[in-house]
Amino acid sequence: MDAILALEDGKIFRGRSFGADVERCGEVVFNTSMTGYQEIITDPSYKGQIVAMTYPLIGNYGIVKEDDESGRPFLEGLAVTEYSKIASNWRSEKILEDYLKENKVAAIEGIDTRELTLHIRQAGAMKAVLSTIDLDEKSLVKKARDSEGLIGKDLVREVTGKREIFFEGGKNKYKVVLLDCGAKSNIVRELIKNGCRVISVPAGTPAEEILSEEPDGVLLSNGPGDPAAVKYVINTTAGLIGRVPIFGICLGHQMLGLALGGRTYKLKFGHHGANQPVKDLKTGKVSITVQNHGFCVDMGSLNKKDIEMTHINLNDNTLEGMRHKKLPVFSVQFHPEAAPGPHDAVYLFAEFTDMMENWRAKKKRH
Which residues does residue 17 pair with via DSSP β-bridges, in sequence order? 108
Distance CA 146, CA 169 (A): 47
My answer on whether omega of the bond before 56 falls inside 30° of 0, hence cis, is no
Are 268 and 288 in contact, with CB atoms under 8 Å apart? no
**Complete DSSP assignment for 33-88:** -SS-HHHHHT-GGGBTEEEEESSSEE-TT-B-GGG-SSSS--BSEEE-SEE-S---
Distance CA 347, CA 45 (A): 23
Are 311 and 278 in contact, with CB atoms under 8 Å apart? yes
Q: Which helix (H) or strand (E) is 16 found in, with range? A: strand 12-17
One-letter amino acid at 231 equals: K
By annotation, the residues acting in catalysis are: 250, 335, 337
Distance CA 223, CA 87 (A): 30
Which residues lie below 8 Å from residue 155, measured CB to CB, with a gap of 6+? Answer: 47, 48, 182, 223, 224, 225, 226
Other CB atoms within a 10 A radius of the CB of residue 42 amount to 23
Distance CA 222, CA 154 (A): 14
Other CB atoms within a 10 A radius of the CB of residue 322 amount to 24
Distance CA 29, CA 56 (A): 15
One-letter amino acid at 174 equals: Y
Distance CA 146, CA 131 (A): 15
CA distances from 259 to 29, 99, 156 (A): 27, 39, 17
